[in-house]
A and B are shown apart, each in its own frame.
Chain A
């Protein structure tokens, strides 16, 4: 009996500790202390039948990686300001991109799309630029996202910020977590959604999954456990050596490899065959969406090796080939790095990336988002002008 009583009291102590931890974290999160003291990062992703995962509507919390920000997902389920689903008479543009566009490392008004919206609405009152950025998306997911939420928003123009390397990556054909391009029985590459039958996806869309998400939305202690599960229970175990963080992007690191030659082989010679087949499928699907919906679709390509003296001719050949291919399919093409060079005045874009001691690597900082926003605004404005002509 005494042993049982002791065990009960011990467990009661553990429960009390959990309540204390929850209270302390809630106080941290609700007061300016969130900018300094430990807080678990917000978990705003959830299952999505079209893109595998996407933002869950109305979730809010603190993002802690790279730079601390308060993130709120809009009621439309976007990393965007609150806005009506139904469009007005004013211009509406959507920007589909990866974490660079998602930009959870800065406050929403500082994101590139918010900057672009402000610039554009000065010229075109009421103009909207909607952020459809989502972490780690491949062109396959971008196509799926355009087909679903993108078209539902009835935009006047769709801008897809595409990182060139994805076309040569295996991830674009992997449909276990997000849509991927798979070869069907006819030998055609089509978007495939095998993730919908996955155990993880089924759990996330079940009652159990809904309960877990409810818990993550309401309990910071639950977020701590989730963050630890994602990072690894023994994540701090001593490692032999730490490598410096890789640059997320930036034309200056293109010279480090012979990627240019591989991209040229893909776009000009159609090699390797599988990647070329997937590339054809992406262009085909985007072209169909554009044609069927009379929607100008602009592919803004990043990482085409700007600033590499040795690749100047190769780069020219590559950009010409990309432009020709896309134009033939009725799609717009923008050499993003070229515009960035023009705006930035130099191919060295370190100052646009990273925060604090990691300045120079990582996601876009406020200055980076400002510059990207200006470029995106110019691209959208130019596309609208074309349409008006």
Chain B
């Protein structure tokens, strides 16, 4: 292993994700949710009940994380009005928020990149810090721009950020979409019980994606990326499986987040819209982790002058912005390269989009291939491993020993399974239609709710293939 690879590996080892949290795909969370839901509908003070539940939910992460979150929330709450009066306060507060993020998430990476090693004992990233820092910062910027109003109540402000349905891994909610709903809860308005069926259906869909699909793919993906692919075909299969693992994992979490919110009469922003069916890289990002993409567009890309000026200027802004978006996912060069590579793909479409569009299905296939190819940077432990893996994908020397089954019949089954994953993706697109929602609303009732609760119960009861926390919890 050369020095750079060793340094990247050391950096990864020293920066660990938080493993202590309440996970949506567990039986104890189902009991927690049932208890909170019962109290929510039986008792007055719905906003307070959700706030208390959210505090309990986050406190499992431990004292340090809870205190940090509390301090950041308090400071942001305290400086809302100064920000509204004078935008100079905004810069101070943003420096504080992003300073915390950099300190807790990137200090090992930055120190290692600078060639110093201060952190022998390693760093544990506070749970959900990337998400709540982004949400709070968006809120402050919106206040500064006059697009949001400060919260007068600390409780409402705290629930705005701490709601356990989106606390750890988003969606990153905006004031305009979420604050009125929080205010409604605290004002004692009706909690929209007609969405309970939809909420339960989304929870079941999320659990199917996480427990049945993402967790089942995880051991195979681990093998491919740990041992390295033995052939070009196995390398593509490994990347393809990871592409679907991370999609099912994160979109499964997001579906559950949406579903949980619906159970309490809240509506969160949709985070995924079948990204692998999109025809261009730009469209991919409009369908993948939508709340992060729009955050980056509204608070980075546009303010930095993206979409204006010469092509060269736009290209520079896009590369910087996508590089930062990549780094948001983790403190590693691989994430930076992943983001920049996406920027280059978007630029390619800007240059040759008209010609590529003539390919029709070919354009979709090309986008899909690029997405799967770039996932290698996201998943590989370091840059060297990623490059070796990609080399194998294009026929270079085998990067490792992990291959497809020797028997032709079994190999064919694996390929068929890969195609089936795409088919599931397409099937999901058919589920997310206005018509399907109307049908669900029409048949909602005790029978449907019993069925969905039962399915969710069996899903969390299933034996876990391995201890596989949600991937995006680490960001």
| Contacts from A to B (Cβ < 8 Å) | 6-7, 9-18, 20-21, 32, 36-41, 64, 221, 224-225, 227-228, 231, 233-234, 236-238, 240, 242, 356-357
Contact = CB atoms under 8 A, between A and B. Distances in A.
Nearest to A21: B458
19 contacts: A9-B445, A10-B446, A13-B452, A16-B450, A17-B452, A18-B454, A36-B217, A37-B212, A38-B463, A38-B465, A39-B463, A41-B463, A221-B458, A228-B463, A234-B28, A236-B464, A238-B21, A242-B467, A357-B222
A238 B60 contact: yes
A39 B23 CA distance: 21
A357 B226 contact: yes
A17 B457 contact: yes
Interface string B440-475: 000001111111111101100111110100000000
Given A17-B452, A227-B463, A236-B28, A10 B21 contact: no
Interface in B225-239: 226
A85 B384 CA distance: 58
B222 A356 contact: yes
A25 to B, nearest CB: 8
Contacts of A228: 27, 461, 463
A242 B23 CA distance: 17
Contacts of A38: 211-212, 215-216, 462-465
B450 A12 contact: yes
B19 interface: yes
Nearest to B455: A17
Contacts of B28: 234, 236-237
A234 B23 CA distance: 12
Interface in B203-246: 211-212, 215-217, 219-220, 222-223, 226
B447 A18 contact: no
A18 B446 contact: no
A207 B83 CA distance: 74
Contact of A11 (B211, B450, B461): B450
A233 B30 CA distance: 12
Contacts of B451: 13-14, 16-17, 20
Nearest to A223: B463
Contacts of B446: 6-7, 9-10, 13
Contacts of A224: 458, 461-463
A234 B27 CA distance: 7
Of the candidates A11, A17, A40, A225, the one having the most CB atoms from chain B within 10 angstroms of its own CB is A17
Contacts of B449: 10, 13
A224 B27 CA distance: 13
Contacts of A227: 463
B170 to A, nearest CB: 21
Q: How large is the interface on B (under 10, 10 to 19, 20 to 34, 35 or more residues)?
A: 35 or more
A89 to B, nearest CB: 38
B417 interface: yes
B454 A13 contact: yes
Contacts of A39: 463
Nearest to A39: B463
B413 A32 contact: yes
B26 interface: yes
Interface in B348-378: none
A6 B211 CA distance: 30
**B-side binding surface: helix, strand, loop or mixed?**
helix
Given A38-B215, A236-B27, A238-B21, A18 B448 contact: no
B20 interface: yes
B62 to A, nearest CB: 9
Contacts of A238: 19-22, 60
Given A38-B462, A38-B465, A357-B222, A17 B453 contact: yes
A132 B389 CA distance: 45
A10 B200 CA distance: 14
Contacts of B22: 238
A228 B454 CA distance: 16
Interface string B410-448: 100100010000000000000000000000000001111
* Residue of B26, B217, B223, B462 with most chain A CB atoms under a 10 A cut-off: B462
A6 B452 CA distance: 15
A10 B450 contact: yes
A21 B463 contact: no
A298 to B, nearest CB: 37
Interface string B9-25: 00000000001111100
Given A14-B451, A38-B211, A238-B19, A225 B222 contact: no
Contacts of B457: 17
B226 A17 contact: no
B58 to A, nearest CB: 12
Given A36-B220, A225-B461, 9 more contacts: A9-B445, A16-B454, A17-B451, A21-B458, A40-B463, A41-B463, A234-B28, A236-B26, A356-B219
B219 A17 contact: no
Contacts of B23: 236
A17 B222 contact: no
Contact of B463 (A9, A20, A64, A234): A64
B194 to A, nearest CB: 15
Q: Give the most central of A10, A41, A224, A242: most B CB within 10 Å.
A: A10
> Which residue among B23, B216, B223, B464 has the maximum number of chain A CB atoms within 10 Å of its CB?
B216
Contact of B447 (A12, A221, A234, A357): A12
B419 to A, nearest CB: 14
A50 B318 CA distance: 73
B359 to A, nearest CB: 33
A238 to B, nearest CB: 4
A224 B26 CA distance: 14
Contacts of B463: 38-41, 64, 224, 227-228, 231
A238 B410 CA distance: 37
A14 B417 contact: no
Nearest to B462: A38
B211 A13 contact: no
Contacts of B462: 38, 40, 224
The 9 closest A-B pairs by CB, nearest first: A13-B450, A17-B454, A21-B458, A13-B451, A10-B450, A9-B446, A10-B446, A238-B20, A14-B454
Query: B222, B410, B455 — which one has the most chain A CB atoms within 10 A of its CB?
Result: B455
A225 B463 CA distance: 9
A224 B413 CA distance: 27
